[in-house]
Structure 1
Amino acid sequence: MGCHGSSRIWTMLPCTSSASGCWKQIVKLGEKKLWNGRSHKSYFFGVLGDGATINFWADSWLRDEPLRLTYPHLFRLEKNKWVKVASRLQVVNDTKVLTWDWRSNPSSYDEVNELFQLLDDIYNYSWKGGIDKWLWKGDAQGAFSVNKAKHLISLDPQPYLSHMKWKGWVPLKCKIMVWRAIINRLPSRVELIRRGVVLPCDSCVLCNSDSETILHLFTGCLFSAEVWSRIGYWCRLEPIFAFDVSDLLKMVNIPPKSKYLKYVLRGIIFTTMWELWNERNTRIFKGKRRRAMEVVESIKSTSFFWIRNRSRFKGLKWLVWCKYPLDQM
C-alpha cells in the first residue's frame, strides 16, 4: 500500500447531480437530530465503489462512524475536509495507493498511532469497484423508505429533549437560545421560508455566501468561523471543527479539563452563540454591522460582566480575563 503527500475533510449526506425527488429532501433534513441523539444522516452508510461521491473523513464508509470521529488528530491535520475517497485512495496494479495533503506531517504519538491504525483499516478493507452505493441502517435490508423513517422518528419518547448542560453563569435567555439552536428551533431564514414566510432571499446575512440555516449560521458561516477562530485563540483551544451545533458544546472536553474550566468555557461558548445570533438580528432589523473582532470584544466584555455578577468568581480581573480567561480559575 503506497502513501504519498498529505490530507483532510468533512461531510454530511451523499449529494450528487443525480440526486432528485425525496433524496434532495433527505440531504436538507440530514442535519436534524432524532430522539436518540443521532442525526438522520448517521443512518446512511456508504458502500465504496469508485469513491467519487463518498467523503473520506465525514461519511461513514470504512467504519460505523465517520473517520473524523475515529481519527480526530489526523483530521485536524487534513487540509481538504470535504475530500472524496477517490482523491485519497486508489488501486493501481492491485496495490492500494494513498495520497495525503496534510497541514503538517503526522509527528506526535497520537497522530502517528492513528495513522498506522488507519493504514491498517484501509489495508484490510476490500471492495469490488463500480459505483458508490448507500445503505440505510434503519432497515435490515438497507433500503430506505419514508414509512420506515417516519416510524423511526415516532419512537421518540421525548421529542425535544436536549442533553446540553443547563447549569451555568449565563442568563436563562441565553441558555434557551442555545437549546433552541441545538434542536433547530430558531427562526433562521430557511426555516421561516419553509413555514410560508415571504422573504426576499434566504442568504446568510453575516456572509451572504450560503442559505441561512442554523447549522450554517453557527458552524459554516465565514464570519462565524472567524469569530470562533478568535475565541479559540483567546481561550487557547485547539482548532475548532464543528459539524453540528451540539459539537460546539463538546469543545469543553477537548482536551480534558477540570470541572471549573469546563464551567467557565461552556459559558463563553454560550455567550459566543448569543452574540452571533444578536449580530445576525442587528444586521437584519437595525441595519448595523460589526466586524468579527468587534463581536469578539463584545463577547469578552459580556461574558466578563455575566461571570462577575452571576457566579462565585467575584475576584476576576478584567485585564487578566482579556489575556486568558481560564488563567484565573
Structure 2
Amino acid sequence: MTYLGIPLGIKMNKSSAWLPIIEKFRKMLADWKIFHTNHDSLWARIIVNIYGTGRGLGSTNNLQFAGNTIWTNIVKVGQKIDNFGIAFSTSITKSISNESTTKFWTYSWMGSDPLKDVFNRLFVLESDKMDLVQDRVIFTEETRRFNWQWCREPRGRAIDEVEAIENLINAVSLNPNAEDKISWNLDADGIFSTKSLASQIDGKKLQVGNNVIETVRNKLIPQKVSIFVWRAKLQRLPVRFELDKRGIDINTLLYPICGDEVEKVDHVLIQCRKVVEF
C-alpha cells in the first residue's frame, strides 16, 4: 500500500526509500525531453495544439482547454500577482547559448514576444517552424552566420524583415561555450525563491502609509503571539470598548476583573491594578 507514491511504513531516512519516486521523476523528465526533441511526433503535435507553444508564465493561450492542471493554476495565480503591480509573468528570462535547445520562432527569447509574432512574414516563409536557435544561428571561429531555410526566397517587405531580424540577433551576446540559463529577474542573485516572491507581494500589499504601523515579524516568536501583539497595537482585540464602538449591545463596559475602568486594550494588558499585582 502506498500514499502519494510512497510505500506506507517505510523509513524515509533511507536513500533507497526514495528510489521509486526518483525513477518516476526521471521518466517524466525523459518524456519531456522527447517532447522537445521529437516535436514532429503525433503526441507532441497534440500537446502543442492543446496547450500552445509559448507556455511561459505570461501565456494565456488555450487556458480554457488546458483543464485544472498545476501549470494552468500557476499561470492564473501569476496573472493575479501581475495585478498587484509585480511583473511576475515576465520575471523568468532565459539566457541563450549557441548550443541552445530553445525554439527559435516560438519561444520568447528576444524579448516579451516570440519572433514568429514580431516577424510574421518570415515565419510564414520558414520551412521548419519548430527549429531551434542553434539551427538558425551558427558559430564558426568566433563569428556567427545565419542558416535560413525558406520555402521560397523572401521578397518585398520580407527582405527588410530579414535584415531587421539579423541586426536584432547580432546585438545579442550568445556564448558558444556556455549553457542555457534561466534567471529570476525579481531578485539580485537571479535565483527564484518563495521568500523573494513573498517579499515582492508584501511590498505591494502591505505598503506603509501615514496612519499605518510598520511591523516586522520575529521568527523566534510564535506566530499566534505575533498576531496577538499586532492586533493589540492596532486596537483590534475584542474588548468591550471596541465591541461597543461597533454597535454590539453590552450590559456594561467595565472590565469585570477589577470593575474600576472601561475594558480597553491598554487597561486589560497594562494599566489594570489586578494585572500589575499578578
The structure, 1 or 2, with the larger RCO (C-alpha pairs under 8 Å, 6+ apart) is 1
Larger radius of gyration between Structure 1 and Structure 2: 2
Range into which the TM-score falls when normalised by the shorter chain: 0.3 to 0.5
Tell me the TM-score normalised to structure 2 length: 0.40
- The TM-score normalised by the length of structure 1 is 0.34
